[in-house]
A and B are shown apart, each in its own frame.
Chain A
Amino acid sequence: MAKTEKKIKKKGPIRTEAIIPILILVVLFGLYFKYYFDSHLRYGIAYGATQAHGAEVNIDRLKTDFLAPSLSIYNIQITDKSDPEFNIVQVGEVRLQLLWDALLRGKFVIPESSILKIQSHSKRKRRGRILPPPAKSSAKGQVEQAAETTISQLKQKNESNILADVFSVAGGTDVKDQLKKMENEIQSQQKIKKLGEELKVKEKQWKQKIDELPDESELKQLVKKVEGLKIDTSNPKALQASLKSVDAVYKEARAKYKTIEGAKKSLSADIKKYEDEYKSLENLVKADIQGITEKLNIPSLDPKEINKMLLGNLVAAQLGNLYRYKQAAEKYMPTKTAEERKAEKEEQALTPTERAEGIDFRFPKKKSYPQFWLQKAQISSSSKQGQAGDLSGTLANLTNNPKHLGLPATFDFKGGFPHQKILDVEGNITVDHTTDSPEEKGFVKVGSFPVEKNVLTRSDDVELGYNKANGSSKIEFLMKNKSLQLSSQSLFSDIDYYSSAKKPKVAELLAGVTKGLDNLDLNVRARGSWDDLSLNINSNLGQKLAAAIKAQISGEIAKARAQVKNHIEGLINGEKSKLKGQLAKIEQQLGVSLQSREAAIDSVKKSVDEKKKSATQKEKKKIEKKAKDKLKNLIKGIKF
């Protein structure tokens, strides 16, 4: 039987059988990155951008290269939220070159990139999807709340429709009946009634208080008592006793004086209080007239108010956009707190930091990148490339950690979009979040752009707006911490106005105003913090409209206003003078009673003073005589 020996092959130290599965794994990874990764990344970026923007963002194609790390994104379309048939911006190509050195540190640094073929307001193939607005957080920051209030107030102004009120009054309105119904709402009348009732109660209280005060006969008796006192100057002891009895009367008189003086002061304070209340009635009457006038929709013809009403929405949109960009800049380029900065300093100073397990040593960083840093992006676009615009510019130092980088982000651009008729575009924006006081400043200028249909005012009776116009605009802004400085100048020309009104008189007026208004200017100046924004909106439209209305219907408005004023004053004036009389009467009556008591107590004081003075004089003379006699005797006694 042949013995077959199995020869066991000696295996080497390398696990060769593991190489094939690992190779398969590597190949699978390679294939995934070659054929699927780009499309998955494209989907991920488009999804993330859609969520961040709130409207559909599309990316046609995306290409990555791992050997020379780079990313190219083709045809990015960002849907315009206000008009989803169009894109706000469409970018033909974005090329980003990444830095290996940073990637190996887990950071994304883009030293050079290009943004090409930019189109503005391009038509979408299909309508863009708009996401539902996110649930508003109840815990809003103060600045956020203030900004929203300012913007919504402007919108409210726009919705207040002063023009409709103007023309309603122009048709002739009798407000008498309405005024009668509103009598209960007149605050000043209620105040007068309340004051009158209060005064009656006070008067009683005062009479009672004065009656309790020492009366004149009581005070006259005190005078007699003082006069009846005999001052014994025969010896110092008797003199002292006499002066003591005078002092006792004086003290009694002084106590009574204090009571009278206190009552006088108290009465004066009360009188003053009611006099002030009376004076404040004037303002209350003014406020009543204003309030009732507003309730009756009787408009003012202030051009500023008309401007705010007509153009408030345009300005609100400008401010809203600016604020949204500021919010985005703060979100993606946060300013670090002092504590975070302190921690960073400690990092440089080789100070160990306590950790849950062990201690992390920090060594000086010679080269460190922020997590994301777009060093420079060259914007280049030419209208020769299809529908793209002529645009050139630079976007620099965009980072998620500006303080670490220490350089502000800048964006400057110049050019236009001839296909969209947007010409002479120029801008320079600096977002400086490198310090504790974040600052955003810059300007954007558009030489010419088409303006779509805009409704300036719309009501049942009247509508005014324009179908199209040609605009030019320049906005300069500076936002620092909570404050804003904005100045914008816009000019609209070739305006195709439209207007309609139920009343022929009004229609004629509007036609007349718009006919003579070839160019519409809009100048806005905003200063202050978001919660206290001083806003000045100036436009020739408001001025011209106010002037035209004034010329034609100011009489009607003035008549209605006068009606309100007269009605309120008629109601108030009688009550007011009655109250004044009541106050004067109290002052006179109570004042006189107090005056007589005051005079009486003065006479007590005078008699006491005289008595004391005469006693003192007598004693003084006596002492002088004694001294002289003693001096004489002394001289006689001295013999030379």
Chain B
Amino acid sequence: MTVILKQIFQLLKLLNSETGTHQIAWGVALGFVLGMTPVFSLQTVLVILLLLFLRVQIGAALLAAFGFKFIAYLLDPVFHEVGHAVLSNAGLKPTFTTLYNMPIVPWTRFYNTIVMGSGVLSLALTPVVFFASLFLIKKYRKNVYEKIRHSKIMKAIKATGFYKLYMKYEEFYG
């Protein structure tokens, strides 16, 4: 429970920071791909490398991956259906046969219906997730965050010794 609460606070902190909106949105999008992938495979390594080398919010990616993992679990039957449809497509069979016989490529486990289904759907939905995140972050900062910041409760909290202590902690340890 503490871990989940910590993750929620981290997300709120991220949202309330001055970190670039695009970075968070890309983080959520890449986290979405990570969360949808059912097993640790070559594409997971690729996404992690992208997270390391591109200026995207790693925290957002990890939180998104954590969140989408639960949704992905529920979507497994859909992934299976999509993956099955793609893999049993006669027109694609020569391509898959070639990929299957290539070095390294089989390590992606593309021949698994859920891996293929989640891969196809997550790739197709990445732009959607990116723009949706962008939109929601902007809305949140404009409406929700500003309202909370200026609310009486927030002002009362900010006046407490505990908050000051927290701010001191933040100053030293970030």
Contact = CB atoms under 8 A, between A and B. Distances in A.
Interface centre among A15, A19, A361, A368 (most CB of B within 10 A): A361
Contacts of B112: 355, 357-361
A180 B93 CA distance: 91
Given A357-B38, A360-B111, A361-B87, A13 B103 contact: no
B100 interface: yes
Contacts of A22: 52-53
Interface stretch (B75-83, B124-132, B135-143): B75-83
Interface in B20-57: 38, 52-55
A365 B103 contact: no
A300 to B, nearest CB: 69
Contact of B53 (A11, A15, A367): A15
A359 B54 contact: no
Interface string A354-375: 0101111111111110000000
B55 A12 contact: yes
A358 B55 contact: no
B113 A363 contact: no
A18 interface: yes
A105 B79 CA distance: 27
B103 A15 contact: no
A478 B101 CA distance: 39
Interface string B83-118: 110011000010011001101101100011111010
Nearest to A368: B101
Nearest to B87: A361
Nearest to A22: B52
Nearest to A102: B103
A350 to B, nearest CB: 8
B104 A364 contact: no
A361 B97 contact: no
Nearest to B88: A361
Interface string A8-20: 0001111100110
Interface centre among B79, B96, B104, B111 (most CB of A within 10 A): B111
A29 to B, nearest CB: 15
A609 interface: no
B52 A105 contact: no
A185 interface: no
A14 B84 CA distance: 37
A101 B105 CA distance: 12
Give the interface size class of chain B. Answer: 20 to 34
Contacts of B114: 357-358
B100 A365 contact: yes
Give the dominant DSSP class at A's interface: loop
Contacts of B106: 105
A457 to B, nearest CB: 64
B159 to A, nearest CB: 30
Interface in A102-161: 104-106
Interface residues of A, number: 25
B113 A361 contact: yes
Contacts of B111: 360-363
B76 A357 contact: yes
Given A13-B54, A14-B53, A363-B93, A358 B101 contact: no
A11 B93 CA distance: 44
Interface in A1-59: 11-15, 18-19, 22
A11 B38 CA distance: 34
Nearest to B111: A361
Nearest to B22: A13
A488 to B, nearest CB: 48
A359 B88 CA distance: 11
A18 B51 CA distance: 10
A125 B131 CA distance: 73
Contacts of A360: 111-113
Contact of A358 (B54, B107, B115): B115
A359 B104 contact: no
B100 A15 contact: no
Contact of B52 (A12, A18, A366): A18
B55 A15 contact: yes
Contacts of A365: 100-101
Interface in B58-86: 76, 79-80, 83-84
Interface string A86-108: 00000000000000010011100
A15 B97 contact: no
Contacts of B97: 363-364, 366
B76 to A, nearest CB: 7
Contacts of B103: 101, 104-105
A366 B55 contact: no
Nearest to A355: B112
B35 to A, nearest CB: 15
A13 B50 CA distance: 11
Contacts of A18: 52-53
Nearest to A364: B97
A106 B113 CA distance: 22
A365 B52 CA distance: 36
B100 A104 contact: no
Interface string A331-366: 000000000000000000000000101111111111
A13 B103 CA distance: 31
A104 B42 CA distance: 13
A361 B92 CA distance: 13
Given A105-B103, A358-B38, A361-B87, A15 B113 contact: no
B55 A14 contact: yes
A363 B93 CA distance: 8
A355 B113 CA distance: 10
A15 B76 contact: no
A366 B107 CA distance: 17
Contacts of A15: 52-55
A135 to B, nearest CB: 37
Contacts of B79: 358
Contacts of B80: 358-359
A619 to B, nearest CB: 98
Interface in A358-398: 358-368
B54 to A, nearest CB: 6
A363 B53 contact: no
Contacts of A104: 103-104
Given A105-B106, A367-B101, A359 B113 contact: yes
Given A358-B112, A359-B112, 4 more contacts: A15-B52, A106-B107, A358-B76, A358-B79
Please list the 7 inter-chain residue pairs (A to B) with the smallest Cβ-Cβ separation, ordered nearest first.
Answer: A104-B103, A358-B114, A363-B100, A358-B113, A363-B97, A361-B111, A361-B87
13 contacts: A12-B55, A13-B55, A14-B55, A22-B52, A105-B103, A106-B107, A358-B112, A359-B112, A363-B111, A364-B100, A365-B100, A365-B101, A366-B101
